[in-house]
């Protein structure tokens, strides 16, 4: 029994640890692209430091736990009730749980061989699925169908395992594969079963990927490289890895996409358009045991890093926006401690973030009719936009163009929305539709003894954006309402030029400021 599991069905976590020891990586050199749309929330689920092989479905997380030392048991954590439950409690070993809805599948060795059992949470009933005296490994479930790897046809060769299926509705068992090769690691989604077949690479456990469609009763070989391993399926997409890259095969288009992985490959998972995996150091990193989780979005072609603690990672599972895995970060760091000890189950929840509305426009001022191009610059991936241009008109385009026909100052608002909420940005009097201004000003005082400080006040009509004053003594200012000091006697000519996007206008007042002194009464000198 032990040798047969080693040949084709070596425990996934053991394989993962071996690979970690051989090929290592550096997180610093990994290429990642952060996605502002996601908020990554990490939660430690277990504290037993003895939990491995997790699976997640809805609010439920299940795993194998050896906290009782004498045997391994199946545990469950409910995210809604925040309650941990022990599912199995007999003296035998239960391992490799899978979950779908209220049904938990696992291996059990109580009968002297490994059988597949099911625990139904809805009625708290345990059912033995397989009764054959051979070993059955790695159960997977979808709906009412259970698949597993079975050694009943091996005849002692230790090279011939098959894929079997059990239908909970009809209570019928069906042999899926009938060849003489090893068929292992089955996964089921809908009517499709995928597995790895004919592994001739005992150390790294690689072979080819096959699929069987229950609706057509047709088996198809997906790969021919002999280097594929650990298939997963969601919808029409099958993924696998070859220790260096992840391949994505689309059953509807028959196209294969390669996702490059910089370091060593760990466990993979797929849900919807997202693929998650463990990634270690590249070979050139030397004796490195860093490992982290990454995610690739097939819709956006973006890769992001999910963890950054660098600890070894075990089996990954994903359902909707939840990702679970085995993490060895809590091991005691000393020369005598195995780094692959003290495992716990961790959870990442991917939450969307409400957008932050932002925008720009060009031009922001000018004469009528004024055509303005608005550009959305909102953060965190909005999916809907609503513009209010301040003149009674609106738009739902992301980056609209709008024409202003009437004079005035307009306040513009943009509301950006996604699934998590909305946010509004407002710019008051942002757009100015103007005519050429008319320059007008006053001053106080307009006469007096030197030094004479005069305050000039702009009283121009229209919307003014720029001012230029000439004080008659060689000095100028661009302030709207400047203050100026005259040090010499004389009569001074003042000029004010006001402007906006529509044009400019100038007013001049000759001998407007008169500055006198007491040195020679009655003597008066006019400035040039």
Q: Please determine, for residue 385, whether its predicted confidence score (pLDDT) is greater than 70.
A: yes
pLDDT at 34: 36
Give residues with Cβ within 8 angstroms of 284, minimum separation 6. none
Classified by CATH at the fold level, domain 2-352 comes out as Methylamine Dehydrogenase; Chain H (2.130.10)
- State the pLDDT at residue 33: 32
- pLDDT at residue 26, rounded to an integer: 28
Q: Regarding the domain delimited by 359-433, which CATH topology (the fold level of the hierarchy) does it fall under?
A: Immunoglobulin-like (2.60.40)
Tokens 């003014």, residue?
Answer: 464
> pLDDT grade, residue 284 (50/70/90)?
low
Q: Measured between alpha carbons, how far is 62 from 347 in angstroms, rounded to an integer? A: 12
Cα(1)–Cα(320) distance, rounded to whole angstroms?
A: 36
As a whole number, mean pLDDT of residues 180-190 equals 93
Q: What are phi and psi of 485, to 5 degrees?
A: -110, 130
Q: What is the pLDDT confidence band of residue 521, given thresholds at 50, 70 and 90?
A: very low
Confidence band for 337, pLDDT divided at 50, 70 and 90: low
Q: For residue 35, what are its two tokens?
A: 């996605």
**Range with the poorest average pLDDT among 20-29, 207-216, 225-234:** 20-29
Alpha-carbon span 138 to 363, nearest angstrom: 64
Tokens of 83: 């309650």
Whether residue 12 has pLDDT greater than 60: no
Task: With cut-offs at 50, 70 and 90, classify the pLDDT of residue 180.
Answer: confident
Residues 420-426 have a mean pLDDT of 92
Q: Report the share of the chain in percent with pLDDT over 90.
A: 70
* CATH among 2.40.160.40, 2.60.40.10, 3.40.50.300, 1.10.1240.10 for 441-516: 2.60.40.10
% of the chain exceeding 70 in pLDDT: 86
* Residue (of 258, 240, 196, 250) closest to 221 by Cα position: 196
Structural domain boundaries in the chain: 2-352, 359-433, 441-516
CB 495 within 8 A of CB 510: no
Domains 2-352 and 359-433 agree in fold: no
pLDDT interval class at 462 (50, 70, 90): confident
Q: Is the pLDDT of residue 528 over 50?
A: no
Q: Which of 442, 438, 436, 437 is nearest to 509 (CA)?
A: 442
Q: What is the DSSP string of 360-409?
A: EEE-SEESSSEEEEEEE--BS--SEEEEE-SSS-EE-SSS-EEEE-S-EE
Joined together, the tokens standing for residue 192 give 């499709």
Of 19-33, 57-71, 80-94, 450-464, the one with minimum mean pLDDT is 19-33
Q: What is the pLDDT of residue 168?
A: 98
């Amino acid at each position: 029994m032990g040798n047969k599991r080693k040949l084709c069905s070596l425990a996934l976590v053991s394989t993962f640890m071996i690979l970690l020891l051989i090929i290592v990586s550096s997180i610093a050199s990994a290429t990642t692209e952060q996605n502002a749309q996601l908020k990554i929330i990490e939660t430690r689920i277990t504290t037993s430091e003895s939990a491995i092989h997790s699976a997640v479905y809805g609010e439920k997380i299940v795993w194998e736990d050896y906290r009782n030392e004498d045997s391994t048991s199946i545990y469950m954590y409910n995210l809604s009730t925040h309650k941990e439950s022990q599912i199995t409690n007999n003296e035998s070993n239960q391992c490799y749980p899978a979950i779908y809805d209220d049904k938990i599948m696992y291996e059990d060795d109580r009968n002297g061989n490994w059988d597949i059992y099911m625990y139904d949470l809805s009625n708290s009933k345990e059912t033995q699925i397989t009764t054959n005296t051979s070993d059955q490994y790695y159960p997977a479930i979808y709906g009412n169908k259970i698949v597993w790897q079975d050694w009943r046809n091996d005849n002692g060769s230790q090279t011939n395992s098959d894929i079997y299926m059990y239908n909970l509705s009809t209570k019928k068992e069906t042999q899926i594969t009938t060849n003489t090769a090893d068929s292992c690691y089955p996964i089921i989604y809908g009517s499709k079963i995928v597995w790895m077949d004919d592994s001739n690479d005992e150390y790294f456990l690689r072979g080819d990927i096959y699929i069987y469609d229950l609706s057509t009763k047709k088996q198809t070989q997906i790969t021919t490289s002999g280097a594929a391993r650990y298939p997963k399926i969601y919808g029409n997409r099958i993924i696998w890895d070859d220790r260096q890259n992840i391949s994505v095969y689309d059953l509807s288009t028959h196209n294969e996409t390669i996702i490059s992985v910089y370091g060593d490959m760990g466990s993979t998972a797929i849900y919807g358009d997202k693929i998650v995996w463990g990634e270690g150091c590249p070979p050139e990193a030397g004796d490195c045991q860093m490992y982290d989780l990454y995610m690739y979005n097939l819709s956006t072609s973006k890769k992001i890093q999910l963890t950054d603690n660098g600890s070894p990672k075990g089996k990954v599972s994903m359902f909707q926006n939840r990702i679970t895995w085995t993490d060895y970060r809590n091991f005691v760091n000393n020369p005598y401690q195995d780094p692959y000890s003290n495992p716990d189950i961790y959870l990442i929840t991917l939450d969307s973030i409400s957008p932050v509305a932002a925008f720009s426009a060009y031009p922001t001022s000018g004469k009528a009719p004024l055509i303005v191009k608005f550009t959305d610059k909102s953060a965190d991936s909005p999916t809907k936009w609503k513009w209010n241009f301040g003149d009674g008109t609106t738009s739902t385009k992301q980056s609209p163009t709008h024409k202003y026909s009437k004079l005035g100052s307009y306040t513009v608002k943009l509301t950006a929305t996604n699934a998590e909420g909305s946010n509004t940005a407002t710019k008051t009097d942002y757009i100015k539709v103007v005519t050429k201004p008319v320059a007008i000003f006053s001053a106080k005082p307009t006469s007096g003894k030197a030094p004479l400080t005069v305050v000039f006040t702009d009283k121009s009509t229209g919307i003014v954006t720029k001012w230029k004053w000439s004080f008659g003594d060689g000095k100028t200012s661009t302030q709207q309402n400047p203050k100026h000091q005259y040090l010499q006697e004389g009569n001074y000519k003042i000029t004010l030029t006001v402007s906006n996007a529509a044009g400019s206008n100038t007013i001049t007042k000759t001998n407007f400021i008169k500055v006198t002194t007491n040195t020679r009464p009655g003597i008066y000198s006019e400035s040039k």
